[in-house]
Structure formats: C-alpha cells, structure tokens
Amino acid sequence: MRGVVMYAPGDVRVEERGEPRIVEPSDAVIRVAATCVCGSDLWPYRGVEELRRPTPMGHEYVGVVEEVGAAVERVRVGDFVVGSFFASDNTCDICRAGFQSRCVHAVPMGGIGTQAERARVPLADGTLVRVPGEPTPEQIRHLLAASDVLGTGWFAADAAEVGPGKSVAVVGDGAVGLLGVLAARELGAERIIAMSRHPERQALARKFGATDLVTERGDEGVARIKELTGGLGAHSVIEAVGTQQSMEQAIRSTRPGGHLGYVGVAHDVKLDGMELFFAEIHLLGGPAPVRRFLPDLIDRIMRDEITPGDVFDLTLPLAEAAEGYRAMDERRATKVLLTL
Amino acid sequence: MRGVVMYAPGDVRVEERGEPRIVEPSDAVIRVAATCVCGSDLWPYRGVEELRRPTPMGHEYVGVVEEVGAAVERVRVGDFVVGSFFASDNTCDICRAGFQSRCVHAVPMGGIGTQAERARVPLADGTLVRVPGEPTPEQIRHLLAASDVLGTGWFAADAAEVGPGKSVAVVGDGAVGLLGVLAARELGAERIIAMSRHPERQALARKFGATDLVTERGDEGVARIKELTGGLGAHSVIEAVGTQQSMEQAIRSTRPGGHLGYVGVAHDVKLDGMELFFAEIHLLGGPAPVRRFLPDLIDRIMRDEITPGDVFDLTLPLAEAAEGYRAMDERRATKVLLTL
C-alpha cells in the first residue's frame, strides 16, 4: 500500500509501504477513508523535532474495518470507525478516569502512520468507536476532525471548565483553537473571545461561535481580555499553540481561581514557579484523551449539529501529501485533508 | 504596644510600635490572643527574600475585637475572631468563587504585622470569622493553626481533590504538610502517604492520619509512591515545600489525570513545559484562600474533632520571638506559638 514518509525536514514522500497486518490478537486493520496533516507534523517538518530515520507519518484517521484479531469483540469487519492518536485499552484505571491518552498500554498512532491507505490499530476494542449508520462525504470530513483537532479543542474546553455563564478566551487560531471555540459554544459559554489577526480564521471563529475577536498579542492581548471581562480575566482559557509567549498569555488571561486548558505541545516552555503560584489558576493539559469524547462528538456530527470539518481548507489526494505539508508550513492552509 | 520587627536576616527584635487605629471605616482593631511564626517568615530571616527596611512581622492571629470602624456590621467589639493572612471583602466575584486570597481588594496582613499585641484588620466584615462561644486555651491553639497552616494544608487537599477511596501523597513534613495529612484524613482519603525522614514529624503525621511513611526523596521517593499506588502514582498529591525538587517530586508522584495541590511558595522554581504537558495532571496552587474554609474549620475545632494546634511544638512569650525564629530556622521546632 502507499503511505506518507518523512525523510528529512521539508522532505515528505508518498511511497510504497508494507501492508499492515494483525500483530496482536487485539489489533484491527482499517482501510483509511480520510486522513490529514496535523500542526504537530510540522514540528519535524520544520526541524524543531529531530527525525532520526525516514518516518511514516500521520495519526488522524477514519475508515472501515477490514480485519480484526482473534481477541477483538466490539469492532467488526465493515464497521465505519473513528479512532484517535493514542490507541488505548479503555479499561485501565487511567482510561476509566477519562485519560485514555495516558492509558497504561497506550500506543502512539503516530508511530504507525495513518497517512496511508491502510493502518493497523492496536487495542481495537478500546480505541475505535463505531459510527452509527453510513456517513455522508461531508460527515466523513467532520468525523476526521473529531479524530484529533476537534477532540483536542473539546478536551481543552472541558479542561478549562467552560460552561454556561462563563467567559472563555482562546489563544491560538489554528484548527485546534478554532475548534476550541466551537466546543466552548456547544458547552454553553456566554462569551467566547478568539485571539486572531488572520481574517479567514477570524471568520471561521465567528462562524464557530466567537462573540469577540482580539488581535493584540502578549501583554496588550492580556490587557484586552481583562477589559472584556470586568478587569478580572476570563473564567476559562484555552491554550492551543505551545510556545512560551502563548502559555504566558494564557496564564495571564485567566482570572484567579479560573481554569486554563492547554493543548499546544509545549516546546521550549519554562513556567516560572512564582508567577504560577500567584496566578492561582487551575491548569490541566497534555495530549488530549480524545477517546473520552468520541462517542458524544460522533453523535453530534451524525445529527448534523456541528461542522468541525470546516477547518479543512485544502483537500488533496494522498499522492499530493507533500504539497499539503508545504501549504500548512507556509500558512496557506489551516488544515489539509488527504483523500483516498 | 509591643511587636516583632525584623531588621535584617537573623535579626528579629520585639520593640515598641505605634498603636493600631481604625484607618478605613471597614477596619477593626483586635487584641491578639495568640500569634505564631510562619515557615514563610524564614525566607527573609535566611536572606532568601530581600528585606528593604525594618519590617513588622506576622500574619497569623486570633483575638478579640476591641474597636470597629463605622461601616463594620458583622463583627462586634468583644467577639473572639479568626482571620487569615489576606484581608478580603468576601463579596467580589473572585471571593465568591472561593479565592479570597486573590480578592480584588486583598490586603496582605504580613504588611501589617500580627506578631504584636494588637493589629488593625482591614475589611473586617469579610476577613474575620467569629468563634461561637468561649474557646479554651487548647482551642485557641487550634484556632490559631486554622489562621494559616491548617487553612493552607486544607486548601492543598481540596485543590488536590482528596476524597473517599483516593490515595494521597504529601510532599513536605512542615506544619502545612502535616496539616495536609490531617485534612486528607478528614476529607476521607483511603491511603495517606507522608514523605518524611524526621522521627517526630513522622509521629505527628501518623497521629494526623498517615497510613504510610516514605523516607526516600527525589526519584527514589517517586518510585516508592508508585510502588504504593499500583504503579500509577497517587490520585492526589499535596506539595508543601516550594523548591524545584519538591515540585518535580510532586508532579512525578501524581498519576495521569490526578490532582496536585501546591502551596509551598515556589522560590526559584522553573517548570518544564514538556514535562508538565506529558504529566497530564490537574494543578492548582497559590496563597491559600483560607477564608473559604474558616467557618468549617472553626466548627470542627470547637466540636473538638481536630487538633491542628498539635503542630506547635514550642510556645514562647512574644518577648522571646527571636528565640522562636532561631528554633524554627535551626529546625529545632516545627512551628512556634507566641503567647500574649
């Protein structure tokens, strides 16, 4: 089968890879219906994360089950399924507490590479969630978003304890930040402040439910958030970038006693203990346990209540994955969907 | 009146200070019944925090109201009251959310200095909580502990979401850590692991409810906590030291999805963003909003259910405050009570 392999920063190729097969009895093999390029795929693409060898890419996927191992009970051949970027047993203490991305048996799907025609999915019973009915092509786009960026934005909003009557500030206007806005709307936030200076992303933020836009960054951005929240800062802040500046901006935008959900992978970030201490805010972040939210997200999508796939602003066949990476790297695209 | 003044690191004197008086109509003046020396008083005593001028000391206090301003309505002359280290209005949005230490009108009592015969208490209606009935001398010791160290340990346990069926690890065997153990027991924790290598503090931890003691520190301490918690780490961790090592030990002792409450004032601490991201734990810390817990703590003390004053292992008259500071600095005493 064909799949995406990154050879070096800037060097992405689509080439023949071995056919995936059942390795463990708890595995499934799926035929990928759609996959996409993640903001985090840009870290090695830009040389920020080291690449030691040619590496299969991709960890977002929806598709149809083609084969299951002997121990698989809940997933059947022919099921249309959604999984996320960590395979998880969904039965250990950590999974049952809702943190499947830290499952004691977690397997990173990025190590398998789902930008491909087929993929092996470990712990299939725990990892894969069946979609009821036959998704339309549009619904497939939305379900693919649920696989990572929607699930991650939703987790950030949940971690930030977004809810009715609350103000929410969203730092980051990438796909995750934008879907954090959508999650905040769905969770009933009263005021949703998106921080963006990019006209097209601002428009999508508005569509997803942003009530206010802030174009300032750093201290000025924080000052604007405070102006909009009675001088106190937002009840809930979503951080979806992962830099020193974005984390500081997010911490300082949260009111004392408020909640910050951070999902940007924190590269070269050092948090000052004294600042954090006196900020006196709740923090929760990390790789999103998307699995926790998938059943609910799939239901909302199949009822046509949410359209998270709107973040895909460029669609290319898998064979043109290299152009997809380039477009995201150059910020010509927010999020690239790869068709199969 | 007489009060404690710090002149320089290691130089603490008891000397004549001006009589406190009502400045704002919301003030009260109390006659201090008992006060004490805080672990945080040792930071300037040891030269870790800079002292710019001779500084009145103390922020823990219980006492009797002697005078109230014209706007004070809930507190009356003659009331026996407990306050904490931040005066707060207890009516602003931040206070109503339970974060009175970050009240929009907060006044640090440390700037007033309660190691003295009398003290002005700003925002008396919001700050002071009346004790029902006449406390015994023993109860006065316990109420004084509620003013800071018990309230702080309790906040840490609350922030760590301690509760029935949960495992709790406590990093730090000072007064706050020990009272974090007591709080964990009162909040119904199933297993309470105190980290201490000091025999007397271990004994007090046992008395307060510790089920296990861990003497190892750093990576070995973390490994022991994991051994005791099925390899996962504790559900809830209380950090009550405030150093790089103690914070890292606390973060690494918390299971994914678990809760860390940190109340050690974080000096020279830098948290690594990537470690925090992949730890995937809830964090909440800062100056404890003791006011939130005072009514409940006072009730428990006046019903003789808890004996937090057991942390005071040295009692001296105010005149001998300098010896009290020395004893705590040299770790001859955990917590020094000053009588008046």
- Computed over its alpha carbons, how large is the radius of gyration of chain A? 19
Q: How far apart are CA A126 and CA A116, in angstroms?
A: 22
Asked whether the predicted pLDDT for residue A266 surpasses 90, the reply is: no
pLDDT single digits (tens) A69-93: 999 999 999 999 999 999 999 999 9
Largest CA distance in chain B: 59
Q: How many CB pairs under 8 A join A and B?
A: 121
Distance in Å, alpha carbon of A320 to nearest chain B alpha carbon: 32
Taking CB atoms and an 8 Å limit, are A97 and B283 in contact across chains? no
CB atoms within 10 A of CB B26: 22
Q: What angle do CA A197, A200, A204 make, to 5 degrees?
A: 100
Distance in Å, alpha carbon of B63 to nearest chain A alpha carbon: 28
- A278 interaction partners in chain B (CB closer than 8 Å): 286-287
* pLDDT number for residue A311: 97
Single-letter residue type at B171: V
Single-letter residue type at B209: G
Confidence of residue A267 (pLDDT cuts 50, 70, 90): confident
Q: Which residues of chain B have pLDDT under 70?
A: none
Q: How far apart are CA B257 and CA B247, in angstroms?
A: 17
Asked whether the predicted pLDDT for residue A42 surpasses 90, the reply is: yes
Strands A118-121 and B80-82: unpaired
Q: Structure tokens of A18?
A: 């071995």
User: What's the average model confidence in pLDDT over A41-62?
Assistant: 95
Beta bridge partners of B171: B195, B239
Q: Structure tokens of B326?
A: 């020395």
Confidence of residue A265 (pLDDT cuts 50, 70, 90): confident
ipTM here? 0.96
Query: DSSP for B178-201?
Result: HHHHHHHHHTT-SEEEEE---HHH
Q: How far apart are CA B163 and CA B229, in angstroms?
A: 15
- The residues near A88 (Cβ < 8 Å, ≥ 6 apart) are A95, A100, A101, A103, A105, A106, A123, A126, A127, A289, A291
Token pair 């734990």: residue: B281
Taking CB atoms and an 8 Å limit, are B283 and A282 in contact across chains? yes
Asked whether the predicted pLDDT for residue A168 surpasses 90, the reply is: yes
The pair phi, psi for residue A291, each rounded to 5°, is: -50, -35
Taking CB atoms and an 8 Å limit, are B285 and A285 in contact across chains? no
Distance in Å, alpha carbon of A232 to nearest chain B alpha carbon: 8
Q: How far apart are CA B204 and CA B175, in angstroms?
A: 10
Picking from A61, A75, A62, A58, the residue whose alpha carbon sits closest to that of residue A22 is A75
Among B166, B260, B269, the residue to mutate for chain A (most A Cβ within 10 A): B269
- A286 interaction partners in chain B (CB closer than 8 Å): 256, 277-280
Taking CB atoms and an 8 Å limit, are B279 and A286 in contact across chains? yes
Nearest to B285 among A94, A242, A277 (CB): A277
Q: Are B144 and B83 in contact (CB under 8 A)?
A: no
- A230 interaction partners in chain B (CB closer than 8 Å): 93
Single-letter residue type at B164: P
User: What's the average model confidence in pLDDT over A293-321?
Assistant: 98
Among A229, A248, A283, A290, the residue to mutate for chain B (most B Cβ within 10 A): A283
Beta bridge partners of B315: B337
Domains of chain A: 2-148+289-339 (3.90.180.10), 151-285 (3.40.50.720)
pLDDT single digits (tens) A191-243: 999 999 999 999 999 999 999 999 999 999 999 999 999 999 999 999 999 99
Nearest to B271 among A99, A256, A271 (CB): A271
3-state secondary structure of B114: coil
Single-letter residue type at B32: V
